[in-house]
Amino acid sequence: MTEPSWQKLRKLPVVGRAADWGMGGHAVSKKTRKAGPRTAGLKATESVCPYCAVGCGQVVYTRGGELVSIEGNPRSPINQGTLCPKGSASRQLVQQPGRLQKVRYRRPGGTEWEEIELETAMEMIAERVVAAREDGWQRINDQGWRVDRTMGFAHLGGATLDNEENYLLKKAYTAMGAIQVENQARI
Ligand code: SF4
């Protein structure tokens, strides 16, 4: 019995099949031949996804300082070139049209957001930090031990903070007397 042609084809090495079918190089169009990686010619900068505590490696592609694409970094031992949907969409953190560019403030009892200047917002935050520190200051604890600390505020960091930022935050909050300094990555 003659062997069906599809069974003969299955035995051929994959690379040889196109030629054996008589197509050879003609199976590839001129357009395809000219095609290259869409990131060719772009500046590639290694970075870290800021969305969660996994810390996947990213490659950020830019042209003339403009963000063009973000992909998983194959050199990262954590994600080995992959990104989850959030990491893949992290370009939107910079270029999403709905991104807020101004500080917004809703005053106590207010029902509307107001736009305020960054300088004003920083002043307001600094005043509140100083007041909360003083209001919650403990010189002596319940056992009579000297503690010199504030119970007026705590700090909870997010996963967008990197090692260096967390180090500085820990130093700053401890210097102000806070004892609850945490990060989302530990929760
Ligand atoms: S790519 Fe996804 S899993 Fe990786 S750090 Fe970003 S958000 Fe987390």
Instruction: Give residue 105's pLDDT band: very low, low, confident or very high (50, 70, 90).
Output: very high
49 lines ligand 1 (CB under 6 A): yes
pLDDT digits (tens, 9 = 90+) for 161-180: 878 888 999 999 999 999 99
Report the candidate in 103, 137, 109 with the shortest Cα–Cα distance to residue 121. Answer: 103
> Mean pLDDT over residues 26-46, rounded?
88
Q: How far is residue 118's CA from residue 105's CA, in Å, rounded to a whole number?
A: 11
| Cα 90 to ligand 1 centre (Å) | 9
| Cα 178 to ligand 1 centre (Å) | 30
Taken as a whole, the chain contains a residue count of: 187
Domain ranges of the chain: 5-95, 136-187
Tokens encoding 112: 């509307």
> Mean pLDDT over residues 22-29, rounded?
66
Atom 4, ligand 1: which residue's CA is nearest? 56
Name the CATH superfamily housing domain 5-95: ADC-like domains (2.20.25.90)
84 lines ligand 1 (CB under 6 A): yes
Q: How far is residue 49's CA from residue 83's CA, in Å, rounded to a whole number?
A: 9
86 lines ligand 1 (CB under 6 A): yes
pLDDT at 30 (0 to 100): 85
| Cα 22 to ligand 1 centre (Å) | 47
Q: Is the pLDDT of residue 24 over 80?
A: no
Instruction: Report the nearest atom of ligand 1 relative to the CA of 52.
Output: 8
Q: Which of the given ranges, 22-26, 37-41, 58-62, has the highest pLDDT on average?
A: 58-62
- Rg of the chain over Cα atoms, rounded to whole angstroms, equals 29
pLDDT at 183 (0 to 100): 85
Q: Is the pLDDT of residue 18 over 60?
A: no
pLDDT at 19 (0 to 100): 52
Q: How far is residue 170's CA from residue 131's CA, in Å, rounded to a whole number?
A: 20
Q: How far is residue 180's CA from residue 187's CA, in Å, rounded to a whole number?
A: 13
